[in-house]
Amino acid sequence: MVLPGGLLTRKEEPVPLKSIGVTLSIREFVAGVSATLNYENEEEVPLETFFVFPMDDDSAVYSFEAVVDGKKIKAELQEKKKAHSIYESAISNRRQAFLLEEDKYSRDVFCCNVGNLNPGSKVALTLKYVQELPLEADGALRYVLPAVLNPRYRGSGSFEDSCLDMKTPIVPLEDLPYTFSMVATISSQHGIERIQSNCPFSPIEYLGEDKTSAQVSLAEGHKFDRDVELLIYYSEVHTPTVAVEMGQPKDNRVDGFMKDPSAMVCFYPNIPEAPSPVICGEFVFLMDRSGSMQCPISKQDQSQLRIEAAKETLILLLKSLPLGCYFNVYGFGSSYEAFFPNSVKYSQQTMEEALKRVKLMQADLGGTEILTPLQIIYREPSIEGHPLQLFVFTDGEVTDTFNVINEVKRNRLRHRCFSFGIGEGASTSLIKGIARVAGGTSEFITGKDRMQFKALRALKRALQPAVDDVSVSWNLPHGLSAKMLSPEQTVLYKGQRLIVYALLSGTMPPAEATGEVDLKYTLQGKSFENKVTFALQPKPDDNFTIHRLAAKSFLQTKDMGFRDTSAKDKKDVLKISIDCGVISSQTAFIAVNKNLNKPVQGPLTRRDVPRPTLFSAALMMPQYEGCALPKAMSSCPLPTTQSTRTSRYKGTSYQQDVCRPCRPMVSKDLCALVFGDNHLVQLISLQNADGSWYLDENLAVILGKSLEDLLAAVPVKDADSSSWATVLAVVWLHSNAKQMKGEWELLEKKARTWIHIHAASIMQELVKAAIAFTKSSMDPSIFAL
């Protein structure tokens, strides 16, 4: 069953939401956001309106207020059932009321209700939140204001009381009836180099000569039909910092969360590159093949289809795995399919069979039932000496995200999970949640992002030896202690930022006093340490940003949804949520207008607010399951044998074509059919599991030479042709695809290692000849290990 994002009105009905205005303030790596929704009732009857919208999973919403005909009404954060009761009572008694809540089953979906809006009345609803900004690989801080809320697939057994249960039609992007504006102020003590966006913005206006503060605004006329993304580049982002924020001493509760000062520590651990990466492991790739994967990654021109980017990514991953590991590939939709009954040892034969199946993959499995294949993967017995590394690729359109996150969390001790959200509208709650609870990393692929690069970066992390014995300790003056609020950190990755929160209780020392935070960890038996010294001078902040970010960090570890949070954790979640004013699945903001002298008159009429969506719910309907392949790809051109396998999702035996090992592995016609003119992917698809290439017609076509010319140019008599071919392939990569090195560096290192093992004595001659033959300007020292 597919649930639409947003409650959508029929075209003939006026839409009460007229405009959305956002004020964004970014200081260093923290964003403070104030979003105002402006409503006007132009009808002759009182209205009740509903607006369902996306929020980033990391957003700590702490304020909600209404201005009705010039009078301000501040909402209170209450236990969710109580808030609903107050709202329903107010509506039935003809009072004006406002409700803001987080969805029961996903942190990244919110609903705003306006009840009993009088004819002619205007209401401005303002919600405020703060969030940490993630750090991209190129040093950019990434802020995204989600706009797109795509249809979400409801799995079997899901409950039907989500914000997304309203069954209404989908609105096209161009038909959104309300306007959108945004002004952003950015400040950093290190200086601002540049700001980029996927939307048209005004030129950057620097607010000082030192470029430590700047302002930009969204161009007029933006329709809020896509996620608004900002990439902020500071002159320096890898400097460790500690910020201490003043609490509320007047909070009389003994254990009040807001009473004591809070501290936020930001580490950039300088983890060294391991000399010998991991060569063991079980690598399982879980790929979304629901109908929505047939859509482009973004609205931008020439954006790659999601399923095509996924196929290229899988080829790169398969080619980059080390010999001796184990692997499997699952595709999922309404049903699921596994390439192999169990994970298999990585070899030439198993890689070739997997590669053939990847090339014929389609977005043909219907909806997004991710829970069942996850459960099947976790039921498989562990392979001794090969810890499980799970890679999940999905456009994230699942209703009950907490159910999926809990399944991953239950199995967190036996694996790491790396997750990838594909396209605008991917659930940040799902993608970030499963990575967070299983010690992996999460990535989002939108706009011009390349899934291939981000997936290979995650694989590189997975192949690095694990960092052990991670600990954070505090050295504070006598009488002062730190209570950690962040979850215990068990995993660190090279290039990753680490943020921890703590409450400082006790007697604050004189102004000149300092404290110290110490991060320790072990890598391959060697101990490392990072220290940060900071001034113990709490600074006031009217918004209590650090306290609320700390509360959000705590809630993310305890709050597993309205239904699934344990009784003990629910008690903690309620207390922290209400103490700090940060919304959770257990609480909601409620406001009742007590300024009206008389009840609202007339029958109450419902009006719903359109939401942008990139594609139709029809793409996710079950009838798309099992749709036919394009005619040209409906059968594999390779020789096959019949083999009987057990389908683990249907529980029956079935006949299946299995490729015999062949050389060359794939015909050039199929390469051209699947990859078009993408010579990089064609070249990579020809690489063998051990890192080498064959010298054949397929390689010659990609290199733009004839096979006869390649054979005639071999510089060493009786040299193995694969050694010559492999050197030529590596030279081609460095000469023709240097800008995409992040996507092929792992498989290229396999190739160089193979050359050192099989052609060390003649390597220099081969390299020199290959550079001359291809007229390349690459540095031959690249071939060193």
- The 3-state secondary structure of 667-723 reads CHHHHHHHHCCCHHHHHHHCCCCCCCCCCCHHHHHHHCCCHHHHHHCCCCCCCCHHH
Question: What 8-state DSSP symbol labels residue 518?
Answer: E
Mean pLDDT of 115-128: 92
pLDDT at residue number 152 = 57
Q: Which residues contact 516 (CB under 8 A, 6 or more apart)?
A: 474, 475, 476, 531, 532, 533, 534
Contact call for residues 129 and 55 (beta carbons, < 8 A): yes
Mean pLDDT of 536-564: 92
> What percentage of the chain has pLDDT greater than the value 70?
83
Q: Which residues sit opposite 480 in a β-bridge?
A: 506
596 φ/ψ angles, rounded to the nearest 5 degrees: -70, 130
In angstroms, the CA 666 to CA 638 distance is 7
pLDDT in tens, 699-738: 999 999 999 999 999 999 889 999 999 999 999 999 999 9
- Is residue 414 pLDDT above 50, yes or no? yes
- Please state, rounded to an integer, the average pLDDT across all residues of the chain: 84
pLDDT band at 153 (very low <50, low <70, confident <90, very high): low
pLDDT at residue number 91 = 93
CATH of 17-150+160-236+581-608, one of 2.60.120, 2.60.40, 1.10.3470, 3.40.720: 2.60.40
pLDDT at residue number 171 = 61
Mean pLDDT of 536-551: 93
C-alpha angle 100/105/111, rounded to 5°? 20
| Integer CA distances (angstroms), 227 to 100, 112, 147, 633, in order | 21, 19, 5, 35
pLDDT at residue number 172 = 61
Tokens of 393: 């690729």
Residue from 444, 442, 441 nearest 423 by CA: 444
pLDDT at residue number 782 = 94
- Is CATH 3.40.50.410 correct for 282-463? yes
> What percentage of the chain has pLDDT greater than the value 90?
59
pLDDT at residue number 650 = 31
In angstroms, the CA 233 to CA 213 distance is 12
In angstroms, the CA 636 to CA 656 distance is 12
pLDDT band at 662 (very low <50, low <70, confident <90, very high): very low
In angstroms, the CA 125 to CA 647 distance is 53
- Is residue 677 pLDDT above 80, yes or no? no
pLDDT at residue number 227 = 84
pLDDT at residue number 151 = 55
Contact call for residues 74 and 595 (beta carbons, < 8 A): no
Mean pLDDT of 297-308: 82
pLDDT at residue number 9 = 41
pLDDT in tens, 325-354: 999 999 999 999 999 999 999 999 999 999
pLDDT at residue number 169 = 43
Residue from 417, 458, 426 nearest 444 by CA: 426
pLDDT at residue number 165 = 58
- Entry pTM: 0.85
pLDDT band at 622 (very low <50, low <70, confident <90, very high): very low
